[in-house]
Amino acid sequence: MSRWFPRGLRLLFWSLIVAVAALSSVGFFAERVQRALLDEGASVLAADLAIEQGRPIPQQWAQEAARLGLETSRLVTFPSVLFLDERPQLVQVKAVQDNYPMRGRLQISTPDGAIATAPAAGQVAVAPKLARLLQEQDSLTIGEAELNLLGRVVNEPDIGGNLFQLAPRVLINWQDVSRSELLGPASRAKYRLLLAGERGRIKEYRRWIKARLPSGAQLLEVGSGRPELSSAIERGQRFLNLAALCASLLAGVAIMLATRRFVSLVLDEVAILRTLGMTSRQVLWHYLRQLLAVTLLASAVGVLLGYLVQLLLVQALGDLLGSNLPAPGWKPLPVALLHALVLVLGFALPSLLAVRRVPPLRVLRRELGPVGMSYGLSALLALAAYGMLVFWQVQDAKLATAMSLGMLAALVVFAGMGFILLRVVRPLRERGGMAVGLAALSREPGLTVMQLAGFGLGLTLLLLLTLVRVDLLETWETTLPQEAPNHFLINIQPQEATPLQAMLKEHDVQGSGFYPTTRGRLKSINQQAVEPQAYTTPRARRLAAREFSLGFGQQMQADNRIVQGGWFRPGEPAFSVEQGLAEELGIRVGDRLDFDVAGQALSAPVTSVRSVAWDSFNVNFFVQGSPELLEGLPHAVLTSIYLADQDHPLLEQVGKAYPAVSVISIGALLDKVRNIIARGALAIEGVFLFTLLAAVLVSLAAIQISRDQREREIALLRTFGASRARVLRLVLSEFVALGLVAGALAALLANLLSVLLARRLFDLDAGFNLLLWVAGGFAGVLLVGLLGYLASRPILKTPPMQLLR
């Protein structure tokens, strides 16, 4: 290696290898887990993409999907009435094709065991509640079609965005729809086209269909069906982005410090080359070619190493990540290569341009530097280039802005603290003992400030990610405890709520509260009619067109938090709106909302906007009104409860005592959300190893930039008779002081950033961890002191005369 690159470029070369390896391994691993998270979401949609409308799907839509190589499946849902023992029973019929579902798992319990395929032609599977009502029947008549009863549906992947449908589900084959003769021109049917295939082709189809969707048609994407699942996926992606960003920032700091040493060494060499007759342009291209060659070679090696490391990580985690983790994609490759190239050129190019003006006289007078050379301008250009890459990498403007501003503030704090430290240690020059080592910090103020910033920023990100791993992940996991509600009881009549609550209490069943609810459509905001086509985003159009389950109650749910305004006062007719809905539809505190509830007008002002923890699976509403609004409105009551496996017989008692009550089991959906949380947590744990490696690299680079000065100081001290042990104590006192200051400040900044990220980006509650200050100072002293010892030990073993020569 010494034959290929000069000494400064060797340090830059190895720094780039480790930096790119850390970044690319994070990128490969994070992308695979993110794609796995999206696959989990697709299993709830039963496809990668779906289109729904109130009339049959045009053949052209399916033909375009076939042209793109996508698999398709059709289904239709519509209400119908069955007669059981001469009593009418409202049901929701769902007819599916043989390849349903294309994502997720369908499970039907039959007398011969469980199956995972859709009912064949002539067969029907029913919801558990309907199965209890059918008792010993072995067939079911739907319209004009008599179908054999296959069994009961245990798990249905696309349970859909409306868990609270009143009618139990009936699952039949697509071929039996025509036999039933139930679908006429005026039938209230919803047709859906399911699509699955390669992700790029899905995106291409999405672009094609968006321009052709008629009014009333909806494009359903991963996570759009259930806010609980959307919330978990969004948080998981944010955690992964945060982890990748931390490793990326540390890689940038390491490259910055390595480049600083390279530039300092290049200046002397440039002066020699100028005296030998090379022009300034020739000198510039000479070093620029070397720099580009080192960057490309180190990036290639780093990407290969990162790819191998993430394979080892996935293999080590084994089944914890699931057996169907997607294969690595190519997306992280250009990100890592371009990241390394821009960072190196951003930090090195301004300095290389300045070497054109290095005077040849520097050979004799080394204090002469290049005319017009500005390290401030170099840093500004590098930070600008790096900032653009951060925004590109994380794909989240809010997260990137918060982290970039936080890191900029951290650099300012460390620089300011560095100057304060220099003023404190300057008077120690006149004292003996350990003071000599501390006074060494003031001999090169700029170098000391740079080292402190490098150590401090590395420790800040390392401690921040530690907090994310421990505090934030634990908080995230506690949002969905093991006893989270796994059943919803809906369609409870108002007069049944009190005795049913007493019945559940008698069996020690915990619930999230009984809430009156009714269905309503938003008609106007401040007397302006709500028109779905007037909104630009697909989600806003869906929300404007849907019917809402309006909740009523004086008490706010424990997992809700007011973000604007205040909760309604007793006796005050008012609404509280969920934050996401308010942002999509442009609803603000003080606006007046008008709903149509079964032909009755319901109007009240908005007094608060609140955040909702959808993934808690408690009873929550997009819009919640005060009890005064409920007067005169037809309504039912709903609740969510947790039932252990041994308590499931209680559901039969509830069904017999209250026949109108419907029980919705969401155990499968809970498992999916827990799986998403577990995968996100494992991803953070894996990324932490790379961040730790990058933090060590930062510390090594910070030590290396002062290596030449330290060699001369140690040689002089040894020449004047100082023992190795005494010199080592002096050197360690310098590093311990830097580590203590950097660690204490890093702990403070990491605490502040973690609280900010938890509350502003992840909607989680997190407090200050006072023990982290002690841990930060200890980690700073241990890490920086140890690396300082390892870096100084070879110098101490070298004879002083050899160092001076």
Supply the pLDDT for residue 437: 54
Q: State whether 365 and 495 are in the same domain.
A: no
Supply the range of the domain harboring residue 346.
7-38+230-479+673-804
**Does an H or E element contain 593, and which?**
strand 592-597
318 lies in some domain: yes
44 lies in some domain: no
Q: State whether 516 and 381 are in the same domain.
A: no
367 lies in some domain: yes
757 lies in some domain: yes
How far, in Å, CA of 731 to CA of 521, rounded?
A: 73
Q: State whether 661 and 677 are in the same domain.
A: no
Supply the pLDDT for residue 189: 85
Q: State whether 335 and 376 are in the same domain.
A: yes
353 lies in some domain: yes
Supply the pLDDT for residue 318: 53
Reported pTM: 0.59
Q: State whether 100 and 240 are in the same domain.
A: no
Burial class (CB in 10 A: 0-12, 13-18, 19+), 106: buried
Q: State whether 636 and 683 are in the same domain.
A: no
Q: State whether 174 and 288 are in the same domain.
A: no
Q: State whether 33 and 55 are in the same domain.
A: no
Six token digits for residue 619:
């009873």
Residue spans of the chain under pLDDT 50: 1-2, 160-164, 225, 320, 368, 371-373, 432, 434
> What is the tally of structural domains in the chain?
3
1 lies in some domain: no
Look at residues 605, 631, 665 and tell me which one is the last residue of a structural domain: 665
Cβ neighbours around 646 below 10 Å, total: 7
At 539-566, the pLDDT tens digits run 788 788 878 889 998 888 887 889 999 9
Look at residues 630, 665, 700 and tell me which one is the last residue of a structural domain: 665
Cβ neighbours for 174, distance < 8 A, ≥ 6 positions apart: 74, 75, 76, 95, 96, 97, 98
- Say whether the peptide bond before residue 101 is cis (omega within 30 degrees of 0): yes
Q: State whether 174 and 303 are in the same domain.
A: no
How far, in Å, CA of 593 to CA of 590, rounded?
A: 10
Sign of CA dihedral 646, 649, 654, 655: positive
2 lies in some domain: no
Supply the pLDDT for residue 142: 87
- State how far Cα 92 lies from the chain centre: 36
At 98-137, the pLDDT tens digits run 999 888 788 898 888 888 889 999 999 988 778 877 777 8
Q: State whether 517 and 474 are in the same domain.
A: no
436 lies in some domain: yes
Supply the pLDDT for residue 580: 86
Look at residues 204, 221, 238 and tell me which one is the last residue of a structural domain: 221
Q: State whether 264 and 194 are in the same domain.
A: no
How far, in Å, CA of 35 to CA of 199, rounded?
A: 10
How far, in Å, CA of 776 to CA of 741, rounded?
A: 9
Q: State whether 340 and 251 are in the same domain.
A: yes
